Structure 1
Amino acid sequence: MPMPADVMDLETPCLLLDEQRLRANVARMKTHLASLGVAFRPHLKTAKSLDVARIAMTSPSGPATVSTLREAEYFAAGGVRDMIYAVGIAPAKLPRVSAIRAAGADLAVILDSIEQADAVAAHATRTGDAIPALIEIDADGHRSGVAPDDAATLVAIGQRLATGGAALRGVLLHAGDSYALNNPAAIADAAEAERIAAVTAANALRSAGLPCPIVSVGSTPTARYARDLTGVTEVRAGVFMFGDLYQAGVSSVDFGDIALSVLATVIGHQKAKGWIIVDAGWMALSRDRGTAKQAVDQAYGQVCDLAGRLYPDLVVADANQEHGIVALRKGAAAALPDLPIGARIRILTNHACATGAQYDRYHVLDAAGAVSAVWPRVNGW
């Protein structure tokens, strides 16, 4: 099937990716991290695309971070060899991890308990696959992990891995609490707290005679505003590549950096209510309403014209499964634009990861706004 060169020829809703913005976002992050003397291990959970991965990674073989084993299989098939599966390992998934490793990829797992370490060690003894593992550290009480100052647990986990035939690869942190901040100085402080937690945990392992070659940190906010990464070996970040309204709300990206949007078509009007109806509902945009807790609630997304220019105060105010209700924000002074039936709009969404998960491909836009390529993406677990 010939590829459409004009967005007006695309079936809607569909996912648009601005290649120029994507490349600029990646280049800016790589330059920043290089200035701090650390390696970059991009998190590919947002992109889930080999084409995007090849732009983001420092080499065709990696390194990279994944959030599902389906991603690991997909990227391994595409030649990526150095990966961390950055979700706490479930013992039942270890045979699948070994299968990916047997196919040639150096896939590491993460864990934060002696029970998980025992499972990895038992699997290594049984199969001969010395699966490398990183210990997840809890820097901010946001999610999983061992407290950085809990040396006894850290050492116990490390020893179970080492004596059981597995391999201790290092420590890994995710400063998830940084997503609740919106001040660059506060985010920089969170990045420093993340660094200190990582180094503290790494030193505890090393003091016990255990190896800790990798000290891995990362979130999009802290990666952008980190001032010093002494003692850290690598940074993981991913959503910055595309950007979204939530990240703009926490000052991780600027609105002009957002590379991902949903193309939709006007299918109706409710003029008495000030509504424009489009064919992109929550199935196309996702139900993520994370910006509702921010200073500016973006509802289900901000509306742009085909060139990506924002319509003032125009949002997807509500959404049904396949219908989006476009309206002005309450109290807005702007006028509702004249968008007839069949008109096309672009919608910037709250969470690039959640929106992307609804689609199996990106329609890639060049600098002129024409469709220059179609890049497949992988979904599932």
Structure 2
Amino acid sequence: MEGMAEFSCLQSPSFVVDINKVKQNAQQMLERCQELGVNLRPHTKTHKTLQAAEISTGKRKQGLVVSTIAEAKYFINGGFTDIIFAQPPSLTKVQVCAALVESVSEFHMLIDNVQHLYMLEDTKLLNGKHWSVFLDLDCGYGRTGAKWDVVGTLELARLIHQSESVDFSGVYVHEGNSYCQGSANEVTNISELTTSRLLEFTDKLECEGIPCPVKTMGSTPSCSLPAQIMSKITEFHPGNYVFYDLMQYYIGSCTLDDIACSVIARVIGHYPERGHMIMDCGWTALDNQSEMSKCVTGHGYIVGEPNLRIDSMTQELGKISAIAGKLDYEKYPIGTVLQIYPWHACATASLHNVYHIASDGVIIDKWKPVRGWVE
């Protein structure tokens, strides 16, 4: 994204999305899935917009993963079908999801505990519909999910399969531990291990006579750097890849030029006696969770300025210094527009209610993402 003068029309801080990079990232993932012979079910949690969902599905408007009920409602109202709500439910959410199941052709729940199954069985659907369920399988990440290698997980799958009101639609694995890897080779290695565990579990299902129509696995690192064994599963469900970010860059999932989102800020103060300047962007507009040991430029990367470091941020302000030598204040007069790639696109995007859409440095549109959790 070039042409800082073109962004001078924006108030700061603002969130900018390069539409050409979004389309490029989406097309590359679609082609990667086609080459491996797997389906692509994009996760919407990063962008949370109808526009990016259409681009990432190749305008099919079907096959998504959502992380909140608010997202589910938003995409259903936008004409999308075949949606997985990828969070183990509470009873109150089951009651809301019952209405969603009845409003769309395919809506799937994610469970990892027999109590979740009982909740669904106790919540009857209208018009003879059944609940559709994916079993959340833990293959090493250790967050949610029933462990892939314990007898109880196989028994849970059997109970789902035998249920009169719940259909077993497949197994869902989030490979979140891919984010902890330090190189592309390490990501590929963890993907090989995760996939082999997933396939070992589904082989056991087959031996038990339990059909598993869909084997879905995903994270942006693993799907950007897929191991060949991943061609044996049914589908990918990455999400961050539509925007990418510095975290993905340091893992090896993308290049700096692939990052499609940025925050626009301005220099608003010079403090030579303290060795820094201040921008009008803090942690209410830019993710503050960067790994400073990896990211030498601090809490983000100021595009075209590799010697600048965002040292710290308060609520609405950020402190910038030079990595080497002294800060050249004449180069950055007050009012200078800065473009910052965030460490974590998901966290940064969630701080903005409007995305300014750019093409070749020119703002051409605005997108409004869905916000909140249920309403």
Q: Report deviation, 1:241.
A: 1.2
| Further displaced range: 186-195 or 348-357 | 186-195
Q: How many angstroms apart in 2 are the aligned matches of 1:156 and 1:259?
A: 41
Alignment partner of 1:354 is 2:347: yes
Alignment partner of 1:328 is 2:329: no
Residue number in structure 2 paired with 1:266: 267
Give the secondary structure class of the aligned counterpart of 2:233.
Answer: coil
Q: How many angstroms apart in 2 are the aligned matches of 1:54 and 1:241?
A: 11
**1:313·1:334 contact (CA, 8 Å) conserved in 2?**
no
**1:281·1:321 contact (CA, 8 Å) conserved in 2?**
yes
Alignment partner of 1:318 is 2:312: yes
Q: Report deviation, 1:232.
A: 0.6
Q: How many residues align?
A: 367
Q: How many angstroms apart in 2 are the aligned matches of 1:258 and 1:334?
A: 29
Q: How many angstroms apart in 1 are the aligned matches of 2:21 and 2:295?
A: 23
Residue number in structure 2 paired with 1:213: 213
Q: How many angstroms apart in 2 are the aligned matches of 1:6 and 1:102?
A: 47
Residue number in structure 1 paired with 2:98: 98
1:177-198 deviation per Cα after TM superposition (whole angstroms, max 9, x unaligned): 1111122122111111121122
Residue number in structure 2 paired with 1:108: 108
Change (3 A) 1:125 1:72: closer
1:270-324 deviation per Cα after TM superposition (whole angstroms, max 9, x unaligned): 12222121111110103323x23x53344221112xxxxx202212211110011
Q: How many angstroms apart in 2 are the aligned matches of 1:76 and 1:223?
A: 26
Change (3 A) 1:105 1:327: farther
Change (3 A) 1:360 1:161: farther
1:118 counterpart letter in structure 2: Y
The correspondence of residues 47-86 of structure 1 with structure 2, limited to 5 A, is 47-86=47-86
Aligned-residue Cα RMSD (Å) equals: 1.9
Residue number in structure 2 paired with 1:340: 333
| Unaligned runs of at least 5 residues, structure 2 | none
Residue number in structure 2 paired with 1:307: none
Give the secondary structure class of the aligned counterpart of 2:51.
Answer: helix
**1:154·1:205 contact (CA, 8 Å) conserved in 2?**
yes
2:302 counterpart letter in structure 1: V
Q: TM-score if structure 1 supplies the norm length?
A: 0.91
Alignment partner of 1:301 is 2:300: yes
Q: TM-score if structure 2 supplies the norm length?
A: 0.92
Q: How many angstroms apart in 2 are the aligned matches of 1:334 and 1:274?
A: 7
Give the secondary structure class of the aligned counterpart of 1:193.
Answer: helix
**1:118·1:160 contact (CA, 8 Å) conserved in 2?**
no
Residue number in structure 1 paired with 2:118: 118
**1:83·1:106 contact (CA, 8 Å) conserved in 2?**
yes
Give me the identity figure in percent: 28
Change (3 A) 1:334 1:188: farther
Q: How many angstroms apart in 2 are the aligned matches of 1:377 and 1:27?
A: 21
Change (3 A) 1:105 1:75: farther
Change (3 A) 1:128 1:207: same
Residue number in structure 1 paired with 2:286: 285
Alignment partner of 1:232 is 2:233: yes
Q: Report deviation, 1:129.
A: 4.1
Change (3 A) 1:46 1:175: same
Change (3 A) 1:311 1:269: same
Q: How many angstroms apart in 1 are the aligned matches of 2:185 and 2:353?
A: 38
1:61 counterpart letter in structure 2: K
Give the secondary structure class of the aligned counterpart of 1:21.
Answer: helix
Change (3 A) 1:155 1:206: farther
Q: Report deviation, 1:160.
A: 4.0
Q: How many angstroms apart in 2 are the aligned matches of 1:158 and 1:262?
A: 48
Q: How many angstroms apart in 1 are the aligned matches of 2:8 and 2:294?
A: 35
2:260 counterpart letter in structure 1: A
Change (3 A) 1:162 1:92: farther
**2:245·2:261 contact (CA, 8 Å) conserved in 1?**
yes
Q: How many angstroms apart in 2 are the aligned matches of 1:334 and 1:27?
A: 43
Alignment partner of 1:14 is 2:14: yes
2:355 counterpart letter in structure 1: Y
Q: How many angstroms apart in 2 are the aligned matches of 1:281 and 1:38?
A: 41
Q: Report deviation, 1:91.
A: 2.3
1:203-236 deviation per Cα after TM superposition (whole angstroms, max 9, x unaligned): 2222222221010000111111213224310001
Give the secondary structure class of the aligned counterpart of 2:79.
Answer: coil
| Further displaced range: 46-55 or 191-200 | 191-200
| Further displaced range: 120-129 or 231-240 | 120-129
**1:112·1:136 contact (CA, 8 Å) conserved in 2?**
yes
1:88-110 deviation per Cα after TM superposition (whole angstroms, max 9, x unaligned): 22222012112122222522111
Residue number in structure 2 paired with 1:375: 367
Q: How many angstroms apart in 1 are the aligned matches of 2:92 and 2:105?
A: 19
**2:297·2:307 contact (CA, 8 Å) conserved in 1?**
no
Change (3 A) 1:208 1:300: same
Give the secondary structure class of the aligned counterpart of 1:355.
Answer: helix
